[in-house]
Chains A and B, each alone.
Chain A
Amino acid sequence: MNQPVENLTHTLGTVELRIPCKAEWVAVARLAAAAVANRLNFSIEDIEDVKLAVAEACTNCIQHAGGQQIQIVCETEPDALTVHVRDFGRGTRPEAIASRDDEPRLGVFLIRSLMDSVEYDAHPEGGTTLVMTKKVSG
Chain B
Amino acid sequence: MQQHTDEERWDRRKTRETFARFARAKKRPGDPEYERLRSELVVAHLNLVRYLAVKFANRGESLDDLIQVGTVGLLKAIDRFDLDRGVEFTTYATPTIVGEIKRYFRDKGWAVKVPRRLQELNLAVNRTIEKLSVKLGRSPTVGELAQTLNASEEDILEAQELGQAYNLLSLDTELSGEGDKKSQTLQDYIGTTDADLALLEDKANLERAFEVLTGRERVILYLRFYESVSQTEIAKRLNVSQMHVSRLQQKALEKLRHVLQE
Chain A residues in the interface with B (C-beta under 8 A): 1-2, 27, 30-31, 34-35, 38, 41-45, 47-48, 52, 56, 101-102, 105-106, 109-110, 112-114, 138
State the CA gap A42–B114 with chains docked (Å): 14
Residue of B nearest to A103 (CB): B51
Q: Which residues of A contact B162 (CB under 8 A)?
A: 34-35, 38
B168 at the interface (CB under 8 A from A): yes
- CB within 8 Å for A1 and B168 given contacts A52-B55, A106-B48, A109-B90: yes
B189 at the interface (CB under 8 A from A): no
- The distance from the CB of A18 to the nearest CB of chain B, in whole angstroms, is 19
B165 at the interface (CB under 8 A from A): yes
State the CA gap A121–B30 with chains docked (Å): 50
Q: Which residues of B contact A109 (CB under 8 A)?
A: 90-91, 94-95
Inter-subunit contact B166/A38 (CB<8 Å): yes
Contact of A113 among B99, B154, B158, B161 (CB under 8 A): B99
Inter-subunit contact B98/A38 (CB<8 Å): no
B52 at the interface (CB under 8 A from A): yes
Contact of B94 among A31, A44, A52, A110 (CB under 8 A): A110
Instruction: Digitize B77-103: 1 where CB-to-A-CB distance is under 8 Å, 0 elsewhere.
Output: 000000000000011001100110010
Residue of B91, B114, B169 with most partner-chain A CB within 10 A = B169
Q: Which residues of A contact B98 (CB under 8 A)?
A: 110, 113-114
Sort A-B residue pairs by CB-CB distance and give the 10 closest, nearest first. A113-B95, A109-B94, A113-B98, A44-B114, A44-B111, A27-B154, A43-B169, A1-B170, A45-B111, A113-B94
- CB within 8 Å for A38 and B165 given contacts A43-B111, A109-B94: yes
Contact of B90 among A35, A43, A56, A105 (CB under 8 A): A105
- The distance from the CB of B147 to the nearest CB of chain A, in whole angstroms, is 17
State the CA gap A105–B166 with chains docked (Å): 32
| Chain B residues touching A, majority SS | helix
B34 at the interface (CB under 8 A from A): no
Chain B residues in the interface with A (C-beta under 8 A): 8, 48, 51-52, 55-56, 59, 90-91, 94-95, 98-99, 102, 105-106, 110-111, 114-115, 153-154, 157-158, 161-162, 165-170, 173
State the CA gap A34–B180 with chains docked (Å): 33
State the CA gap A113–B92 with chains docked (Å): 10
Contact of A106 among B51, B106, B168 (CB under 8 A): B51
Residue of B nearest to A136 (CB): B167
Contact of B55 among A41, A110, A138 (CB under 8 A): A110
Residue of A44, A45, A110, A113 with most partner-chain B CB within 10 A = A44
Inter-subunit contact B90/A106 (CB<8 Å): yes
Seed contacts A43-B167, A45-B106; 8 additional CB < 8 Å A-B pairs: A1-B169, A27-B153, A34-B161, A35-B162, A38-B166, A43-B169, A45-B110, A112-B94
